[in-house]
């Protein structure tokens, strides 16, 4: 029988949310239907019983206040890990070490939840855990499926990566599986030994496109709010 992440193993979720942002000022606090974007990810993580603690790693007091209000713990991120070019893995390692030091417990699994995926919900995280258990993998990441007509560009000219004389229907195209950045569940040792969220046997959890929006530009916020309005209208029986 495969060991699972629930067999007396310690699992935390880490949400990296620094204060700086170029595309959208204060992006992690941007209101979506009157709620700070960060709160959606905190709530999704806290609704998963496989996760023992939800931590927000931040260098920003406003973000820390929102995290505490939502019931998450806060890890104060040092300035050198909060730059525009700071990679995510050292930030996760820092949060892991601070949590282990405070709790006196060694972590087994780490869930990385990026706050720019506010439509990822608790059922997606639970689904990723199930894929992880069923596969016996060392990590799992969320992906979305796309079928697109790809081109290569050289100067102002383009070359199709498909047969223009026998144009296929979109549904006949080979699907691409693309990281959507919403969920990464990894053995803690991947971070410790390899400094990487991915390694060993890697499993994939497929998420629907409508929940895979990654907020990077103002237009993405408009898409998220539009989807939430659509969902609310459906629940209220509006056409």
Question: Annotated catalytic sites, by residue?
Answer: 167
Among residues 163, 159, 182, 181, the alpha carbon closest in space to that of 172 is found at 163
Secondary structure (3-state) at 124? helix
Secondary structure (3-state) at 175? coil
Among residues 24, 99, 27, 111, the alpha carbon closest in space to that of 62 is found at 27
Contact 207, 142 (CB under 8 A): yes
Residue 115, φ and ψ in degrees, nearest 5: -70, -10
Among residues 182, 188, 142, 132, the alpha carbon closest in space to that of 5 is found at 132
Q: What is each CA distance from 61 to 18, 19, 58, in whole angstroms?
A: 10, 8, 8
**CA-based Rg of the chain, rounded to a whole angstrom?**
19
170 burial level (CB within 10 Å; 0-12, 13-18, 19+): exposed
Q: What H or E segment, with its residue span, contains residue 229? A: helix 218-235
Residue 207 CB: number of other CB atoms within 10 A? 22
**What CA–CA distance (Å, rounded) separates 215 from 62?**
19
């Amino acid at each position: 029988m495969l060991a699972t992440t629930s067999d007396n193993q310690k699992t935390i979720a880490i949400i990296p949310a620094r204060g700086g942002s170029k595309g959208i000022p204060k992006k992690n606090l941007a209101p979506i239907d009157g709620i700070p974007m960060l709160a959606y990810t905190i709530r999704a993580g806290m609704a998963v019983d496989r996760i023992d603690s939800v931590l927000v790693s931040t260098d920003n007091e406003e973000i820390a206040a929102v995290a505490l209000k939502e019931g998450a713990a806060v890890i104060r991120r040092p300035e050198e890990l909060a730059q525009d070019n700071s990679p995510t893995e050292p930030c996760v390692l820092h949060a892991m070490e601070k949590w282990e030091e405070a709790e006196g417990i060694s972590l087994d699994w780490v869930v990385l939840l990026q706050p720019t995926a506010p439509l990822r919900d608790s059922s997606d995280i639970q689904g990723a855990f199930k894929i992880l258990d069923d596969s016996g993998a060392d990590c799992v990441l969320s992906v979305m499926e796309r079928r697109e007509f790809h081109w290569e560009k050289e100067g102002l000219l383009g070359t199709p990566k498909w047969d223009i004389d026998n144009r296929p229907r979109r549904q006949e195209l080979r699907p691409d599986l693309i990281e959507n950045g919403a969920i990464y569940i990894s053995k803690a040792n991947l971070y410790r030994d390899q400094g990487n969220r991915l390694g060993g046997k890697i499993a994939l959890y497929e998420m629907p496109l409508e929940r895979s929006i990654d907020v990077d530009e103002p237009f993405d916020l408009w898409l998220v709010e539009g989807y939430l309005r659509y969902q609310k209208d459906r629940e209220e029986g509006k056409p």
